[in-house]
Structure 1
Amino acid sequence: MTTHAPAHAPTTHAADVAAAVPRINVEALFDGMSSKYEAAFSDLQSQYDAINWVLSEVEPHKPAKIVDVGCGPGKPVLSSFAEAGHDVLGTDLSSGMLEEAQKNVPGGKFQKVNTLEFNPPDNTFDAVCLMFSLLIDVTQEHIRKGIANMYRIVKPGGVLVFGTVAVEGEKVDIIWMGRPINVSSLSPEEVVKTIKKVGFEVIKNEEMKYFPERAPQVGICKADEIWPEPLLWVYARKPAAPAV
């Protein structure tokens, strides 16, 4: 799942505030909201749609090997795959998120690692999910390299779901959920272009707006600290190896 992250379009005042206060790094950010995170974003229907697509794609390979890079608290992504009988791995940099994930997905495997340093062998997984975990404390070049790494680790014929907040920006200081962070992202067109360039076949890409109205309700932030976030979802497949 889900190191969920912000739109890059705060007000001018918010941007000024972000530049004036010390940034929170990604590990501390998500440690601080780990116990409330799943409840805060549990209404993100497009995430459930992505889960169902992956399940339909890997059904012939059951039990499939699936990794959620930036798994957050393990729900709903890893838990859905584990409940369907698949072999699941979750990675995250946040110890708090991994503690939640281990409780929520008791049969899963977990690894504490920065997304940029996740380095399993080539062609390891039938499916890779990377949802909002290449946004904070990264550069645009990091994002491109991360996408290339996802291509490397998925098996021929395997699939990728890539979710992000797709607004062009490089090392932008913003306030998200009341917290000062630094973010980078690519435009929707550049994300799709990059995913194709590394070798994936893009099956579907979809832009939408998501308003995280539950975040204030569960106490992560104040009501005036949220705004509509422009999300991009890309479903992709690594071409199957040619027959010999």
Structure 2
Amino acid sequence: MTTDSGPDNLRREYRALHADAFNRIGGRYDEAFPRKEGQIAAGEWMIKQLKPGSRVLDVGCGTGSPTAEQLADAGCEVTGIDISPVMLQLARKNVPVGTFFELDVLDLNGSLGIYDAVTAFFSLLMLPRAEIVTALAKVHAVLAPDGLFSLSMVELDLDDIPFQFLGVPVRVTGYLRDELHEVVKAAGFTVLSENRVSYAPATTLAPPEIQLFLNCRRDYV
């Protein structure tokens, strides 16, 4: 990763790095993380508060399992976005009633409409902290008033660090619990509940981790 590129070139490099990584990982992601209790619980929290037919955006939808599939089964109108064409192919197969687009969260705008809820499970951790702030603003802008937002991150005090994930190079960011709360609140969300999960992947290619799930509501700002 070069350091003398301009911001736009650097962002394109990041996007290409992570798109290639998840194209290579593909279905191995679900094999490495077969149990997703925290993510499923966050989806259940959201479903309990949504009416059938609610519009939900899944940011970094991956294979569509479990979140897009879970929301679609509950009668929600699900849209997923991801930067990996391979992941999107898997999502369309796993959730045929969903709508999926190859789109970077940083390019998210009102062109896809307004949503009753947004999920972003382990997708923002592939962005530097400065871009996470931008991504949260993008999410806030496409949410309806009082819209719901569920976010998950790995609890780490890191900003844009090279990392080998399932044998492929990526760059990762994390926050400690209190700082993550502050970042989310500053972006215009009220944290309604939190779940902290100790998770051990089903592979030695990914270390055990502490997962933070924040269930939030959009503020009027």
RMSD after superposition: 2.0
Quick one: structure 1 residues 171 and 36, their matched pair in 2 at CA, closer, same or farther if it must change by over 3 Å?
closer
* Higher RCO (CA-CA < 8 Å; seq separation 6+): 1
Give distance in 2, aligned partners of 1:239 and 1:45: 28
Higher gyration radius (CA): 1
Give distance in 1, aligned partners of 2:113 and 2:26: 31
Displacement after TM superposition at 1:110 (Å):
0.8
Displacement after TM superposition at 1:120 (Å):
2.6
The question of 1:191 aligning with 2:156 is answered: no
Q: Is the 8 A contact 1:68 1:128 kept in 2?
A: yes
Q: 2:114 aligns with which of 115, 124, 133?
A: 124
- Total equivalences in the alignment: 206
The question of 1:28 aligning with 2:20 is answered: yes
Aligned identity (percent) is 28
Q: Is the 8 A contact 2:188 2:220 kept in 1?
A: no
* Residue 177 of structure 1: aligned partner: 166
Displacement after TM superposition at 1:226 (Å):
2.7
Give distance in 2, aligned partners of 1:166 and 1:150: 21
* Residue 131 of structure 2: aligned partner: 142
Q: Is the 8 A contact 2:155 2:209 kept in 1?
A: no
Q: Secondary structure at the match of 1:206?
A: strand
* Residue 218 of structure 2: aligned partner: 238
* Residue 229 of structure 1: aligned partner: 209
Q: Secondary structure at the match of 1:25?
A: helix
TM-score of the pair, normalised by structure 2: 0.86
The question of 1:84 aligning with 2:65 is answered: no
Which residues of 2 match residues 10-49 of structure 1 at below 5 A? Answer: 25-49=17-41
TM-score of the pair, normalised by structure 1: 0.78
After superposition, give the CA deviation of every residue in 1:131-154 in whole Å (9 maximum; x if it has no partner): 111122x21110111112211111
Query: Which amino acid in structure 1 is aligned with residue 50 of structure 2?
Result: V
Quick one: structure 1 residues 240 and 116, their matched pair in 2 at CA, closer, same or farther if it must change by over 3 Å?
closer
Q: Is the 8 A contact 1:115 1:133 kept in 2?
A: no
Q: Is the 8 A contact 2:25 2:166 kept in 1?
A: no
Q: Is the 8 A contact 1:200 1:237 kept in 2?
A: yes
Quick one: structure 1 residues 87 and 95, their matched pair in 2 at CA, closer, same or farther if it must change by over 3 Å?
same
Extract structure 1 runs of 4+ deviating beyond 4 A: none
Which residues of 2 match residues 59-138 of structure 1 at below 5 A? Answer: 59=51, 62-120=52-110, 124-136=114-126, 138=127
Q: Secondary structure at the match of 1:71?
A: coil
Give distance in 1, aligned partners of 2:206 and 2:28: 16
Q: Is the 8 A contact 1:123 1:155 kept in 2?
A: no
